Amino acid sequence: MTVIKVLNEGYVRLVDHMGSDLTVVNSARVSYAKQSLELDERDKKLIKFLAREGHTSPFRHAIVQFEVYAPLMVARQWWKYVVGSAHYEGTGDSLDAWNESSRRYITEDPVFYIPQAGEWRSKPENSKQGSGERLAWELGEKHTRELMDFIESGIAKYEAALSDGICAEQARLFLPAYGMYVRWYWTASVQSVAHFLAQRLEHDAQQEIQEYAKAILELIRPIYPVSLEQLVPDLKKEG
């Protein structure tokens, strides 16, 4: 499987990847002019040692590329990992690239994330961020309808602006932004992907981005099983 559907219209697609757990091992062993041809228990112990001691550069030789289609509110949370990839925990550049579709250039029909009546969540009781329990269905239905009306109004104004000859990069101001789906390519090292997973698989992460993190994990866990188990705390607990 190379594509996983997420939310109602979104998806994650595994475009390409380079390397495996063996890549991590051999990147570390090159210091001693040694090489493994097949991953064995000794190699797995080395990966565990590298992760535990923070020797992360070998994990940056294994690369993975995704195409993601997600609401803008998810994309902007995700983007922080690219901005911060060269700075967290003093590890240096963790090899991230991000290229996103732009409504300066495209005028394809906008698609929006609209929570269904049973998907709206309450504000948390003891935190300034995140969410709490699901709202009553009747209240959720009300806000689903209101959001749909708001989106329809924005699309109508957007299309009217285009018809009046306004350029796409300004007409897009009429589109409700946060729920609009955007598409991008994300290329990152296994170290960087693991950092993203470690934070966005947590129970207190925003639910929508948790769903995307689960899809990312499902796509690449078969490729880098040992490295991810050592780099992502929740997976280490499973082991």
- 217 CB-near residues (< 8 Å, 6+ apart): 197, 201, 228, 232
Q: Is 24 helix (H, G, I), strand (E, B) or coil?
A: helix
Contact in structure between 189 and 60 (CB atoms under 8 Å): yes
Mind telling me the catalytic residues? 200
Angle between helices 72-83 and 190-200 (to 10 degrees): 130
DSSP state of 1: -
| Degrees, nearest 5: CA angle 97-103-104 | 95
- Distance, in Å, from the CA atom of 223 to the CA atom of 190, rounded to the nearest integer, reads 10
Residue 181: both structure tokens together: 């789906």
Instruction: Tell me how far the alpha carbon of residue 44 is from its chain's centroid.
Output: 27
